[in-house]
Amino acid sequence: MAASISTAARSGAAILSVLKPVAGQCVKRRTRLFIPARLAHGARSCLYEHVRAGYSDKPELDMRAVCEETDKVVANVESRKGDLRGDDVRQIVCMWQELQAMRTEISELEKEKRHISDMVKALVVKHGKGALANISEYTQSVQRGREIRERLNQLCPREINLDQEFYERALRLPNATHPDVPVGDESQARVVELVGEKKEFDFKPKGHVELGEELGLIRQRHLSHISGHRSYYLRGTGARLQTALQNFALDKLQQRGFIPMVVPDMLKGAVFEGCGMQPNAHRSQVYSLDPARFSDLSLAGTGEVGISGFFMDHAVNFKDLPVRTVCSSTCYRAETDTGREPWGLYRVHQFNKVEMFGVTADETGEESSQLLEEFVCLQKEIFTALELHYRVLDMPTQELGPPAYRKYDIEAWMPGRNSYGEISSGSNCRDYQSRRLNILYEREDGSLQYAHTVNATACAIPRTIIAILETHQTKEGTVRVPRALQPYLGLEVIEKPTCIPLKYIGPNQPNQPPRPSPKTR
């Protein structure tokens, strides 16, 4: 021991190397790019990997509420769909408490280490390097410095691993639930409002597929070899109807002060997870691309993801709130439950949608609820202008996605299906997304506060087409165009085309026509 002390005394750098900042090195390692192995609990967090790679700040989850109201959080988790249960919440709380205790110990050791380092430097100045070996205060300081270093060498790797496991679990917690939300499955949805009347027909109404084929608007047959199951073509007036609906919705929202945006369809998994979607989940609706060619990229199922990414790691000025944005984008859904609605436009892999997204303040706690009500009123204006009968539903707990604090669905009456069908939804996410994606606003005094986010569908094109075709069909087989769409479509009535439909000559038929004979020259 004396020999090692004597060696250390020959160099001030060697003396201080005993006290070099081990924990600081551990902190630096957090910013390096890595792909962690899947842990024992099976969770993997794209968002955490994104943070560890240095692209974004770490999410600041509201663990105070989770720890202080654990029973309430457990009840909320149990009332929702998903694989999380009450024991998972309690384990997350225990991990958080252990992590905080470990960080407190590391912080205290770092503070003591700095104090010892300053004391050793003072002894070197006072006595000189050569006399340090005979000073007991110095030898005790060096010994304590070694003990601190050894303890930090134990704690820092454990803190890093525990931090990773905690976030990979805690990021899966759902949002809190509005106290007025019904508890249960979709059968418990509460009808808030009925708008319009069901249209009465003096004939048996047709479904949208039959109407679309007869009018030359939709083709869904013989496409599996072209674009796979659940694909479709819109043709002629059908294609123009899609454009008309998009422009009609965009015009109405821009007149109300919404900022139009064009958003990317391919986004990183971190943005999906920050929005509350799990791109790596076994039964995820998210389309993930080949990771060998497109690292960590997926196709967006809603414009909400792209707009959220626009605000990620940015602060909005308080005077600009609420920020209302709108985009028209192509959306992609895996639709893994292929037993439901296998035919028609109701459940398809790819479709266009006009999406509203709002960022607002959290000063009174009511700003986002008010913005959601505003969005729902705009949805009602759009569907009333399209002369549809619909109902507004306050959706129950099992129908809320993880980020939703409250969600309203709008279901239009679809006579050909003889049922209501969802054509729109709107959700208040409060600070769930903003805490994960670091979306903040700057107050007038310069302080930062987590924003609240709200999203709502203005027009999901295929389902709105279903409602229009089936609601406004006539006995003659034509479709009356709603007055609000006539300037966009340039038509009052959609009539049967004069051209002869394409004739299928492919192999999947009992009597395939013969191929053309070779030409003679």
- Binding positions: 302, 333-335, 348-351, 355, 422-425, 455
Q: Which residues lie below 8 Å from residue 148, measured CB to CB, with a gap of 6+?
A: 19, 109, 112, 113, 116
Q: Tell me the binding residues for L-serine.
A: 302, 333, 355, 455
User: What is the spatial distance between Cα 177 and Cα 181, in angstroms, rounded to a whole number?
Assistant: 7
User: What is the spatial distance between Cα 265 and Cα 294, in angstroms, rounded to a whole number?
Assistant: 13
Q: Give the residue among 256, 333, 329, 257 at the shortest CA–CA distance from 288.
A: 333
Q: Which residues lie below 8 Å from residue 12, measured CB to CB, with a gap of 6+?
A: 124, 129
What six digits make up the tokens of 436?
């994960």
- Give the CA distances from residue 405 to residues 111, 145, 321, 429, in Å, rounded to whole numbers and listed in that order: 42, 50, 20, 5
First to last CA, the chain: 104
Sheet of 439-442, strand order: 314-317, 439-442, 448-450
20's enclosing H/E stretch is none
User: What is the spatial distance between Cα 479 and Cα 345, in angstroms, rounded to a whole number?
Assistant: 17
- Give the CA distances from residue 424 to residues 252, 340, 417, 483, in Å, rounded to whole numbers and listed in that order: 16, 18, 17, 21
- In this structure, what are the phi and psi dihedrals at residue 494, rounded to the nearest 5 degrees? -90, 115
What six digits make up the tokens of 232?
């479709």
Instruction: Decide if 409 contacts 395 (C-beta within 8 A).
Output: yes
User: What is the spatial distance between Cα 174 and Cα 66, in angstroms, rounded to a whole number?
Assistant: 11
User: What is the spatial distance between Cα 393 and Cα 384, in angstroms, rounded to a whole number?
Assistant: 16
The DSSP symbol for 134 reads G
Q: Tell me the binding residues for ATP.
A: 333-335, 348-351, 422-425
